[in-house]
Amino acid sequence: MSVNKALLLLIEDDPQFQMLLSTTLENQGYQIVTATTGKEGLIVVRNQQPNLIVLDLGLPDIDGQEVIRSLRKWSEIPIIVLSARHQENEITQALDNGADDYLTKPFSTAVLISRIKALLRRVTKIPGGSQEYFQVGEIKIELTKRLVLVGEREVSLTPIEFKLLSILIRHAGFVVTHRQLLEQVWGASYIEHSHYLRIYMGHLRHKLEADPARPKYLLTEAGVGYRLQDGG
Amino acid sequence: MKNPYFSKDTAEPLQAYLLWGIFITLALTSISWLLRQVLTPSNILLLYMLGVFFVALRFGFWPSIFATLTIIPAFAYFFAPPIFSLAIDDQENLIGLLLLLSVAGVTSNLAKKIRHQAYMAEQREWRASVLYSLSKELAEASKEKEIIEIGVRYIYAEFGGQNTFIFPDEKGQLTYPIEAALDISLKGVNLGVATWVFDHGEIAGNSAESFPNEPALYVPVNGVKGTIGVIALGLESIKIKDFLSEQKQLLDTYVYQIVHTLERAQSAEVAKDAILKMQSETLRNSLLSSISHDLRTPLATIVGAASTLETDGAFLDEHSKRKLVTVISEEAQRMSDLTIKILEMARLEGGEVVLNRQWYAPEEIVGSALQRLDKKLKNRPITIHMPDNLALIQIDAVLLQQVMVNLLDNADKYSPVGLPIDISVVTMPLGLFITIADRGPGIPEQFHQKIFDKFFRVNDECAQSGVGLGLSICKAIIEAHGEEIRVSNRNGGGALFQVYLPLLELPPVINEEVSEFIV
């Protein structure tokens, strides 16, 4: 499957905005199929099996969250959700339900395109398999050897710090919610204990970032989660 | 505080007092008998008169009359010759006894009046002090619930009956009180009688003319604009028809005071609503004017540029097209920023915002704000002073990030290119200060309060000015957190904004990881 021939499904009820997105994305060489309601979107997914979905959370018929939930029952298709600002709860919920990334309106189409590219690349790059090596800026990590280098300097991480970092690496370039991180690193009973995450994130920043108060790699998405800058 | 004088006149133990009259006579007779060698009969009569005075003052009219009546035979038998006979030979003694009788009558009467006046004075003093404390408590109360609770308490103390206030609902129907009842609230109110009282504005129940068989007393609560409710007063031992006039008056005064306070509280509420309405009206007006100015200008540019591209696109060279597109994009961005700010302010003002407090690291608050302004601050030197290992703090990260973004954005907007922005975090025993300082022109002292007002701009004409909402948003967010924001000018020029975040509770401890490091 060539990336540029990927089929994208836009589920968006506003006709103008849909027109803008499809024009822009068609120009990028993608094939576009559109739906204006959640139910229609679900049917399109079954019939045409697109490679990626761009989903507006505010739909006229069923809740966008519902669309994500029913899709995730049987499909791993990448989903980018679009939402209004100040809906961190909505966004977090969508991500926890299984959406892969989000954008808040208004956004620039360039950002959308780069997110779509990144998601499609992730799907083609690692078909379920694990990654051995990750690099962003001066940080190099060899996952199998558990080796972490900042420039030439080797950094020692505790098991939890390493686990946290490896989850972020697995989702590099994408936001991972607080809940997902807490659950995967500490276990389901720690979901309410967000301070663990803050403290260990602080540790990681102090070990990996040149200026922990101005992180270049371990980015905070306020109210949603964390994003590790993608090495590209 | 229960009225000690409640129904006093009817409760005096008269018989015991009559015995006191006999006792005084007996005592004085014995004393006089022992001193009969020294005292003349007229002296003894004076002594008896003293006794009558005492009884009259201490025990009242009837005991003193009773004492006098017992004195007559005692004097005649023991002291007036012939002794041991009820006959009185001496004319002087007879006249003395008659005089004693009349003086006793007069003094008893006088004493009765004095006693009554004293009782009235005490009663009045009691009432005055009760009314004083009632009005004091009422003056301090501002909520309807508090006022009614005070009323129920005072009426209970004065009349000894459980009682409750009944008010109409929105439809004008009397309903049972919604609030949890006090111990002294009357339960089992007859709403039918209450409604009759409410409609007629007359007292009913408990031996009153209307509904005399209803055990509780129903008193209309008469306000300025007619009856606004009903008090139901459970009177078990006494009847309204036995009420003294002062008690009726007192009940009236209580009701008046309570109604007055209730109406005052209601009108204060109305006034507050009116002010709020006025403020939102003002906000809407400023909103309209700012929308018309700040949004219309970029909109005009966008529409103009877009229509040029639409109609003359074919004739424009690549460079002009680019320029027009850039203009559209920039102006749209500006409009978007403004809209977001206006919506944000409306959201904060509307009271929709519920704080989502979570433990956050201070460096993350600063870091995420800087990250959001990454592009804007690309060429701006920024220094950050912050101790390592700062304790976590409980805040709404999204909102506080907004505060930091607005402050940093202002610092960037109002200070010349190339001059640094300094950020520092200082811990205090009970919280921490986050300071953002620039090297711009600073803010004139007289505007240090005003800059946080909505739509206020230090320099209205300045092209860089936004809509004048950034700092009001900051203030609203900070105040929602119960925190503080203030501005001052720096030594050497520039504005300095300081946000104080109090430490509400100690940060949670985490189970330290077994220190097994990966090599």
pLDDT tens sequence across B65-95: 888 888 888 888 888 888 888 888 888 888 8
> By the 8 A CB rule, do B470 and B406 touch?
yes
Q: What would you report as the CA-atom Rg of chain B, rounded to the nearest whole angstrom?
A: 43
Mean pLDDT of A34-42: 92
The band of A72, judged by pLDDT with boundaries at 50, 70 and 90, is: very high
- In this structure, what token pair is assigned to residue A176? 């991972």
Helices (H), A28-108: 38-48, 64-72, 88-97
The helices-and-strands tally (H runs, E runs) of chain B is: 12, 10
Residue B498 pLDDT = 92
What's the pLDDT score for residue B515? 52
pLDDT at A87 over 90: no
Task: Please name every residue paired with A84 in a beta bridge, in sequence order, or none if there are none.
Answer: A105
Verify that A138 and A171 share a domain, yes or no: yes
Mean pLDDT for B371-382 is: 89
All residues of chain A having their beta carbon less than 8 Å from the beta carbon of residue B325 are: none
Statement to judge: residues A149 and A196 lie in one domain: yes
Determine if the pTM surpasses 0.80.
Answer: no
Residues 6+ apart with CB under 8 A from B198: B166, B168, B174, B220, B227, B229, B230
Contact A195 B388 (CB under 8 A): no
**Is pLDDT above 90 for A143?**
no
pLDDT of residue A207: 92
- Is a pLDDT exceeding 70 seen at residue B518? no
| Domain around A44 | 3-125
- Indicate which of A220, A221, A228 best probes the interface with B, i.e. most B CBs within 10 Å of its own CB: A220
Which one is predicted more confidently, A87 or A42? A42
- Other C-beta atoms closer than 10 Å to the C-beta of B6 total 16
Confidence at residue A130, expressed as pLDDT on a 0 to 100 scale: 59
Q: What is the structure's pLDDT at B237?
A: 63
String of DSSP letters for A168-219: HHHTTTSEEEHHHHHHHHT-GGGTT-HHHHHHHHHHHHHHH-SSTTS-SSEE
Q: At residue A181, does pLDDT exceed 90?
A: yes
Asked if B518 and A146 come within 8 Å (Cβ–Cβ), the reply is: yes
Residues A137 and A222 in one domain: yes
Does the CB of B39 have a partner CB in chain A at under 8 Å?
no
pLDDT at B10: 42
Q: Are B384 and A211 in contact (CB under 8 A)?
A: yes
Q: What is the per-residue pLDDT for A125? A: 62
List Cα–Cα distances, B254 to A128, B141, B145, in angstroms.
81, 15, 16
Report the range of poorest mean pLDDT among A88-92, A126-130, B166-170, B302-306. Answer: A126-130
- Of residues A168 and B60, more confidence is placed in A168
Residue A227 vs residues A162, B376, B402: alpha-carbon distances, Å: 16, 20, 19
Residues A111 and A174 in one domain: no
- The predicted structure's pLDDT at residue A182: 94
pLDDT at A51: 93
Q: Do A194 and B371 touch (CB under 8 A)?
A: no
Residue B379 has pLDDT above 70, yes or no: yes
β pairing state of A79-84 and A101-105: parallel
Distance from C-alpha of A196 to C-alpha of A201, rounded to nearest angstrom: 8
| Domains and their CATH numbers in chain B | 9-137 (no CATH), 141-243 (3.30.450.40), 272-349 (1.10.287.130), 358-502 (3.30.565.10)
CATH of the domain at A120: 3.40.50.2300
Range with lowest mean pLDDT among A216-225, B222-231, B283-292, B326-335: B283-292
- Strands in B180-290 per DSSP E: 216-223, 226-234
- Nearest CB among A162, A199, A211 relative to B518 is that of A162
Q: Which of A191-195, B347-351, B406-410 has the largest mean confidence?
A: B406-410
CA of B163, closest CA in chain A: separation in Å?
Answer: 49
In the sheet that holds A147-150, the strands lie side by side as A133-136, A139-142, A147-150, A153-155
A114 contacts: CB under 8 Å, gap ≥ 6: none
Asked if residue A1 has pLDDT above 60, the reply is: no
Q: Quick one: chain A helix, strand, coil %, rounded to 5?
A: 45, 20, 35
Task: Please say which residue of A125, A159, A182 terminates a domain.
Answer: A125
Quote the CA–CA distance of B269 and B514 in Å, as a whole number: 60
Nearest by CB to A214, from B356, B370, B513: name it. Answer: B370
* Burial class (CB within 10 angstroms; exposed 0-12, middle 13-18, buried 19+) of B346: middle
Indicate the number of domains in chain A: 2
Distance separating alpha carbons of residues B23 and B59, to the nearest angstrom: 12
Q: What is the dihedral of CA A67, A191, B365, B410, to 10 degrees?
A: 30
For B224, the 3-state DSSP assignment is coil
Same domain, A200 and A104: no
Q: Considering only CA atoms, which of B505, B512, B474, B511 is closest in space to residue B392?
A: B505
Point out which residues pair with B162 in neighbouring strands: none
Give A3's pLDDT tier (boundaries 50, 70, 90). Answer: very low
CA distance B88 to B82: 6
Residue B344 scores a pLDDT above 60: yes
Q: Do A202 and B363 touch (CB under 8 A)?
A: yes
What's chain A's length in residues?
A: 232
What pLDDT score does A180 carry? 93
* Lookup: tokens for B419: 């001059």
Chain-chain contact of B363 with A196 (C-beta, under 8 angstroms) = no
Give the mean model confidence (pLDDT) for residues A74-98.
Answer: 88
Q: Do B494 and B439 contact (CB within 8 A), yes or no? A: yes
At residue B3, the pLDDT reads: 55
User: Which has the minimum average pLDDT: A101-105, B75-79, B80-84, B377-381?
Assistant: B80-84
Distance to chain B for A48, nearest Cα, Å: 35
Which pLDDT band, with edges at 50, 70 and 90, does B519 fall under?
very low
Chain center to CA of B217: 29
Of B168, B242, B231, B176, which is closest to residue B208 (Cα–Cα)?
Answer: B242
Checking if the pLDDT of B142 tops 50, the result is: yes
Interchain proximity B359–A195, CB inside 8 Å: yes
Q: Are B364 and A156 in contact (CB < 8 Å)? A: no
Report, as an integer, the average pLDDT of B148-174.
Answer: 82
Residues A118 and A150 in one domain: no
Q: What is the mean pLDDT of chain A?
A: 88
End position of a domain, from candidates A125, A146, A181: A125
Average pLDDT of chain B, as a whole number: 82
Choose the weakest-confidence range: B100-109, B325-334, B457-466, B503-512. Answer: B457-466
Contact B426, B435 (CB under 8 A): yes
pLDDT at A204 over 80: yes
Q: Give the pLDDT score at B7.
A: 44
The CA-atom distances, in angstroms, between B201 and each of B192, B198, B223, B230, B259 are: 14, 5, 10, 9, 14
Phi-psi region of B461 (alpha: psi -120 to 50; beta: other; left: phi over 0): alpha
User: How far is residue A66's CA from residue B253's CA, in Å, rounded to a whole number?
Assistant: 64
| Identity of residue B173 | Q
- Do the Cβ atoms of A158 and B516 come within 8 Å? yes
Whether residue A193 is found in the same domain as residue A113: no
Nearest-10 Cα torsion for B295, B299, B302, B305: -130
Residue A95 has pLDDT above 90, yes or no: yes
| Signed CA dihedral, A80, A83, A85, A86: sign only | negative
A120 and A9 share one domain: yes
Query: Across the interface, do B361 and A85 touch by the CB < 8 Å criterion?
Result: no
pLDDT band at B8; cut points 50, 70, 90: very low
B33 touches chain A (CB under 8 A): no
- The verdict on a CB contact (< 8 Å) between A213 and B516 is no
Q: How many Cα atoms are found within 13 Å in the side-chain-facing hemisphere of A176?
A: 24
- Residues A224, A145 within the same domain: yes
Contact criterion met (CB below 8 Å) for A208 and A150: yes
Q: Is pLDDT at B279 greater than 60 in this prediction?
A: yes
Strands A175-177 and A218-221: unpaired
* Mean pLDDT within B299-326: 88
Nearest CA in chain A to B515: A158
Pairing of strands B226-234, B163-166: antiparallel
Question: Which residues in chain A are contacts of B507 at CB distance < 8 A?
Answer: 195
Q: What is the per-residue pLDDT for B164?
A: 84
Q: What's the maximum distance between 2 C-alpha atoms anywhere in chain B?
A: 153
- Inter-chain CB proximity B363 and A162 less than 8 Å: no
Highest mean pLDDT among A197-211, B53-67, B97-111: A197-211
Query: What are the tens digits of pLDDT across the range B190-208?
Result: 888 888 888 888 888 877 7
Q: Which amino acid is it at B363?
A: E
Q: Do A158 and B517 touch (CB under 8 A)?
A: yes
**Interhelix angle A15-27/A109-125, nearest 10 degrees:** 60
For B368, residues 6+ apart whose C-beta sits below 8 A from its C-beta are A219, A220, A221, A222, B397, B401, B404
pLDDT at B188 over 80: no
List CB contacts (< 8 A) between A198 and chain B: 359-361, 364, 392
Helices (H) and strands (E) in chain A, counts: 8, 12
Q: Are residues A113 and A179 in the same domain?
A: no
Query: Hey, of A199, A201, A219, which one would you mutate to test binding to chain B, going by the most B CBs within 10 A of its CB?
Result: A199
A137 shares a domain with A121: no
Residue A159 is part of a domain; what is its CATH number?
1.10.10.10
Which pLDDT score, from 0 to 100, does residue B463 have?
A: 53
Strand order in the sheet with A52-56: A31-35, A7-11, A52-56, A79-84, A101-105
pLDDT band at residue B11, thresholds of 50, 70 and 90? Answer: very low
Question: Which of A103, A125, A147 marks a domain boundary?
Answer: A125
Rounded mean pLDDT, A106-125: 85
CB contact B336 to A (< 8 Å):
yes
Q: Are strands A31-35 and A7-11 parallel, antiparallel or unpaired?
A: parallel
**How many Å separate Cα B391 from the centre of its chain?**
38
Binning pLDDT at 50, 70 and 90, where does residue B9 land? very low
Q: Indicate if A76 and A113 belong to the same structural domain.
A: yes
Residues of chain A whose C-beta is under 8 A from some C-beta in B? 85-86, 88, 106, 146, 156-160, 162, 193-196, 198-199, 201-202, 205-206, 211-215, 219-223
| The two structure tokens encoding residue B317 | 């060279």
